[in-house]
Chains A and B, each alone.
Chain A
Amino acid sequence: MSPLLEVRNLSVAYGAIEAVRDISFTVEAGQIVSLIGSNGAGKTTTLRTISGLLRPASGEILFQGKPIHAEPAHAILGMGISHSPEGRRLFPRMTVEENLQLGAYVRKDDGVQADMDRVYELFPVLGERRHNKAGLFSGGEQQMLAIGRAMMSKPRLLMLDEPSMGLSPIMTQKIFDTIKELQSLGTTILLVEQNALAALALSDHGYVIDLGRTTLDGPGHSLLADQRVRDAYLGEVH
């Protein structure tokens, strides 16, 4: 049985700048897998390539055993990979509800309303203020909306790019609890974080990326215990 997502020897370049060099990793169905690494390591570039927003220079991306790296973004989303981008990228002038509707843009079935209600159940604060503009919410609430919006396409694999960015420790914890909950509800999660401590504590498997390469990998708890990881990344966590 092939893994849900397999990235093989992926390289991505912006013109002459090689942002990702020969990265490989796998995500098994049902897992939370995190990519950690410092700023500029190539994590965002990797996610954008998986979701079809960038094209790889070389390497392969397989989803459920099928190569997807030549597919357009909307097709990849349709296959079940959803991407909550770095910096959340909500539509700030649209309401919560309109944002969620756009999250379901590629869907043609009629379960959208039910899924929207599920998002409101998960994040009651969004339900209460569903007709308010997204731009007026606090950072943590906006992150909830970003996750909710990404869930609206009913993904098999949810990719989250730095969900804890700019959030208070309490709010970060809340978001990470939600991620755990989404996993228990059956969604596989690929998490990108600079906040290595929190991310690894939650992950079934982790990969450390440095200057565009995977340097280390292992189960979340063993990476947490690894002295090299502790020196390089955990020291940075405030």
Chain B
Amino acid sequence: MSTVAISEKRSALAPLGKPLAIAGGVLAVVAALLPWVTFSLNDGNWPDKSTLQFFDAPFLVTGFRWHMLLFGVFILVAALAPTPSRGRVLRALGWGTLAVSFINALYITIKGGGLGAITALDGEVAFGGVVGVVAGVLVILASYGIGIEPVADWKFKVSTPVAYLVLLVAFGGVLYAVAAMLTTGGVGASNPYAGAIFLSFLGFAGGVLAALSGVGLVRWISALSEEHRVFSVIVLAACALLLPFTDAGNEYWMTVAANIGIYAATAIGLNIVVGLAGLLDLGYVAFMGIGALVAANFSGAATAYFGFSLPFPVAAAIAAVVAGIFGAIVGSPTLRVRGDYLAIVTLAFGEIFTRSAQNDIGGFTNGSNAIPGIPALSLFGAEFNRSITIGPVKLPGGVLYYILIVLLVAATMAVFANLKFSRIGRAWIAIREDEDAARAMGIRTGKMKILAFLIGAMLAGLAGAVFAHKNGTVSYESFKFLESITLLAAVILGGMGSIPGAVLGASLLFVLPEKLRDFEEYRLMIFGLALILIMRFRPVGLIPDAHRRAEMAEKADENAEEAHVEARKA
């Protein structure tokens, strides 16, 4: 089918595909081994022995030259071994190589004063960066020469124990990657090159992931995990609970990870509204704010509205219910307005919420003074923000919050998954696809849309209640329009309607700014650029849901399929 589309591009480069790929792979290895900087930078050596040195001890260090070496080896394997969707895999590896080389070379150039730093200066030569960029470009060209076939579909079935093993290994890999991503480049500005190291790592991780996805492995594993859903969720939760035991197990990352978790849970709730039911909500974070305010007012904090405190589970339940009621109220215009108009209604609601919270309407919010001093949660006398010691193992501070939030995310995931595959979920998806046709099927569209708002808001309210105790302060500042947009971006970026997508999207959106602190004022610009690039090259999101994926595949297959149908008619 797709051979037709590719044949044009193929013509010029086709015979050169394989040789180009091999050359690129060899160059990537060479680039890894070459020195990268002609002199020591002001802030000290570029990490991992790259300055003025050949890379003589690859197995002793990690860092970008090790990544380059791996890319080189992967490229050679993909070019020489019988690889499914070879062009697609090579394209991913090529872009990864290019990204790693370019980011490092660029950074060295900027910090080291010009192109001399990555070429030749004072009799020293350091062509690593240049060779790496050339290697990347060669491999990308090679991939077009070979042709970008559709992602291979792995048909073979495996027995349940084998599937479990595969899933364990896969999720273990995810845990490792997450820990590596968090810790790479160190915490905040403790390492002068933290930002660049992190970006370079992203280039590596992205290239490898895209290659695995191109070869069909990712699709196969996600099909396996959908088949063994319960097992996957348990393993995933277990992996998440193991994070405190990795390199990322310090107070700083526990706090960041807990915050990500809160937003991930909220994003999953938003994903019900936007991803499943297809209703655009631009004021969603207000529901989280409502939940947080309810919990804060029942927490016994000095400025709380109520002079008594409720046990957290009770307060959290009330927070969810109150947020849910507001959700249903905001959702009720969906009976009358559609599409853009609904988005404006939700936008207005978000604004009303922030404005009334700012002005302390009703006396629930304490205005711009916020509600500080919300006590930390505790269980059997253990405060959640302290470090705990179990036998010989000392776990970092905030670990209990982290665990609570992992459970919260797991619970929201379970709610989402059960809804998605239920009769209600089918109704939502039908409404999203064609509301009139859905009505003709007997779906009570108004009721279903309000239900989506209600459930989404309840999940946000619950997350907000945890947020209140975790942060100790609830201010309207945390629930402004920008937060709603970021959450929406998390959902769209990760893939609408997809659960792992929402978690990944939330992680990226809340980790990236943290990791890019090194770039100071450029931080948001790089962040925005990254979003644009992702949406350009992966418009369905990073981990798309099957229907969304279908939507994109449709566009590519349409012509071919029509031709096929015509041919069969004739």
B155 contacts the other chain (Cβ, under 8 Å)?
no
Taking CB atoms, residues of chain B closer than 8 Å to A94 are 429-430, 433, 547
Partner of B444, one of A74, A89, A101, A138: A74
Chain A 73-115 interface 0/1 with B at a Cβ cutoff of 8 Å (1 = within): 1100110000101000111111000100111011000000000
Within B513-570, the residues touching A (CB, 8 Å) are 547, 550-551, 554, 557-558, 561, 565, 569
Instruction: Give the complex CA separation of A51 and B436 in angstroms.
Output: 12
Cβ A53 vs Cβ B440 within 8 A: yes
| Smallest beta-carbon distance A178→chain B, Å | 18
B434 contacts the other chain (Cβ, under 8 Å)?
yes
Taking CB atoms, residues of chain A closer than 8 Å to B437 are 85, 89-91
Chain B 411-432 interface 0/1 with A at a Cβ cutoff of 8 Å (1 = within): 0000000000001001101100
B442 contacts the other chain (Cβ, under 8 Å)?
yes
A195 contacts the other chain (Cβ, under 8 Å)?
no
Cβ B554 vs Cβ A93 within 8 A: yes
Instruction: Give the complex CA separation of A103 and B433 in angstroms.
Output: 15
* Dominant secondary structure at the B interface: helix
| Smallest beta-carbon distance B46→chain A, Å | 49
Within B468-509, the residues touching A (CB, 8 Å) are none
Given A93-B433, A93-B550: A74 and B442 interface contact (C-beta under 8 Å): yes
Quick one: closest A residue to B437, CB to CB?
A: A89
Chain A 121-160 interface 0/1 with B at a Cβ cutoff of 8 Å (1 = within): 0000000000001011110000000000100010000000
A72 contacts the other chain (Cβ, under 8 Å)?
yes
Instruction: Give the complex CA separation of A98 and B439 in angstroms.
Output: 16
B443 contacts the other chain (Cβ, under 8 Å)?
yes
Quick one: closest A residue to B443, CB to CB?
A: A105
Cβ A102 vs Cβ B430 within 8 A: yes
Instruction: Give the complex CA separation of A72 and B439 in angstroms.
Output: 10
Cβ B442 vs Cβ A77 within 8 A: yes
B60 contacts the other chain (Cβ, under 8 Å)?
no
Cβ B442 vs Cβ A89 within 8 A: no
| Smallest beta-carbon distance B277→chain A, Å | 14
| Residue among B427, B437, B547, B551 with the highest chain A CB neighbour number at 10 A | B437
Given A91-B430, A93-B550, A136-B557: A105 and B441 interface contact (C-beta under 8 Å): yes
The size class of the interface chain B forms with chain A is 20 to 34
Quick one: closest B residue to A77, CB to CB?
A: B442
Taking CB atoms, residues of chain A closer than 8 Å to B551 are 93
Cβ B550 vs Cβ A133 within 8 A: yes
Quick one: closest B residue to A139, CB to CB?
A: B565
Instruction: Give the complex CA separation of A162 and B436 in angstroms.
Output: 17
Cβ B442 vs Cβ A85 within 8 A: no
Partner of A73, one of B427, B434, B440, B550: B440
Taking CB atoms, residues of chain A closer than 8 Å to B444 are 72, 74
| Smallest beta-carbon distance B388→chain A, Å | 48
Cβ B430 vs Cβ A85 within 8 A: no
Instruction: Give the complex CA separation of A98 and B427 in angstroms.
Output: 11
Cβ A105 vs Cβ B427 within 8 A: yes
The size class of the interface chain A forms with chain B is 20 to 34
Cβ B442 vs Cβ A133 within 8 A: no
Quick one: closest B residue to A146, CB to CB?
A: B437
Quick one: closest A residue to B430, CB to CB?
A: A102
Cβ A105 vs Cβ B433 within 8 A: no
Partner of B436, one of A89, A102, A136: A89
| Residue among A90, A103, A133, A153 with the highest chain B CB neighbour number at 10 A | A133
Taking CB atoms, residues of chain A closer than 8 Å to B423 are 105
| Smallest beta-carbon distance B541→chain A, Å | 15
Instruction: Give the complex CA separation of A73 and B557 in angstroms.
Output: 36
Cβ B440 vs Cβ A83 within 8 A: yes
Instruction: Give the complex CA separation of A211 and B438 in angstroms.
Output: 29
Given A73-B440, A73-B442, A83-B440: A102 and B426 interface contact (C-beta under 8 Å): yes
Instruction: Give the complex CA separation of A138 and B443 in angstroms.
Output: 27
| Smallest beta-carbon distance B549→chain A, Å | 10
Cβ B554 vs Cβ A135 within 8 A: yes
Taking CB atoms, residues of chain B closer than 8 Å to A98 are 426
Partner of A106, one of B436, B442, B550: B442
Given A91-B433, A102-B426: A78 and B442 interface contact (C-beta under 8 Å): yes
Instruction: Give the complex CA separation of A91 and B427 in angstroms.
Output: 12
Partner of A133, one of B439, B443, B554: B554
Instruction: Give the complex CA separation of A77 and B442 in angstroms.
Output: 6
Cβ B547 vs Cβ A138 within 8 A: no
Instruction: Give the complex CA separation of A73 and B550 in angstroms.
Output: 30
Taking CB atoms, residues of chain B closer than 8 Å to A91 are 429-430, 433-434, 437
Quick one: closest B residue to A76, CB to CB?
A: B442
Given A74-B442, A93-B547: A53 and B436 interface contact (C-beta under 8 Å): yes
Chain B 373-409 interface 0/1 with A at a Cβ cutoff of 8 Å (1 = within): 0000000000000000000000000000000000000
| Smallest beta-carbon distance B44→chain A, Å | 54
| Smallest beta-carbon distance A5→chain B, Å | 17
Instruction: Give the complex CA separation of A149 and B436 in angstroms.
Output: 15
Cβ B440 vs Cβ A85 within 8 A: yes
Quick one: closest B residue to A78, CB to CB?
A: B442
Instruction: Give the complex CA separation of A137 and B557 in angstroms.
Output: 12
Cβ A138 vs Cβ B569 within 8 A: yes
Cβ A51 vs Cβ B554 within 8 A: no
Chain A 6-33 interface 0/1 with B at a Cβ cutoff of 8 Å (1 = within): 0000000000000000000000000000
Instruction: Give the complex CA separation of A93 and B540 in angstroms.
Output: 14
| Residue among A102, A103, A137 with the highest chain B CB neighbour number at 10 A | A102
Cβ B436 vs Cβ A153 within 8 A: no
Instruction: Give the complex CA separation of A89 and B438 in angstroms.
Output: 9
Taking CB atoms, residues of chain B closer than 8 Å to A138 are 565, 569
Taking CB atoms, residues of chain B closer than 8 Å to A93 are 433, 547, 550-551, 554
Instruction: Give the complex CA separation of A138 and B561 in angstroms.
Output: 9
Within B440-480, the residues touching A (CB, 8 Å) are 440-444
| Residue among B433, B438, B558 with the highest chain A CB neighbour number at 10 A | B433
Quick one: closest B residue to A135, CB to CB?
A: B554
| Smallest beta-carbon distance A36→chain B, Å | 22
| Smallest beta-carbon distance A143→chain B, Å | 14
Taking CB atoms, residues of chain A closer than 8 Å to B565 are 137-138
Taking CB atoms, residues of chain A closer than 8 Å to B441 are 77, 102-103, 105-106, 149
Instruction: Give the complex CA separation of A153 and B441 in angstroms.
Output: 9
| Smallest beta-carbon distance B12→chain A, Å | 32
Cβ B433 vs Cβ A136 within 8 A: no
Instruction: Give the complex CA separation of A53 and B441 in angstroms.
Output: 11
Instruction: Give the complex CA separation of A51 and B426 in angstroms.
Output: 21
Quick one: closest B residue to A89, CB to CB?
A: B437
Instruction: Give the complex CA separation of A227 and B239 in angstroms.
Output: 79
**Known pairs A85-B440, A138-B569. 19 more at Cβ < 8 A?**
A53-B440, A73-B440, A74-B442, A83-B440, A85-B436, A85-B437, A89-B434, A89-B436, A92-B554, A94-B429, A102-B426, A102-B441, A105-B426, A105-B441, A105-B442, A105-B443, A106-B441, A136-B561, A153-B442
Q: Which 4 A-B pairs have the closest CB atoms?
A: A106-B442, A77-B442, A89-B437, A74-B442
Chain B contacts to A: CB under 8 angstroms: 423, 426-427, 429-430, 433-434, 436-444, 547, 550-551, 554, 557-558, 561, 565, 569
22 A-B residue pairs with Cβ-Cβ distance under 8 Å, sorted by A, are: A73-B440, A74-B442, A85-B437, A89-B436, A89-B437, A91-B433, A92-B433, A93-B547, A93-B550, A93-B551, A98-B426, A102-B438, A103-B441, A105-B430, A105-B441, A105-B442, A105-B443, A133-B550, A136-B557, A136-B558, A138-B569, A149-B441
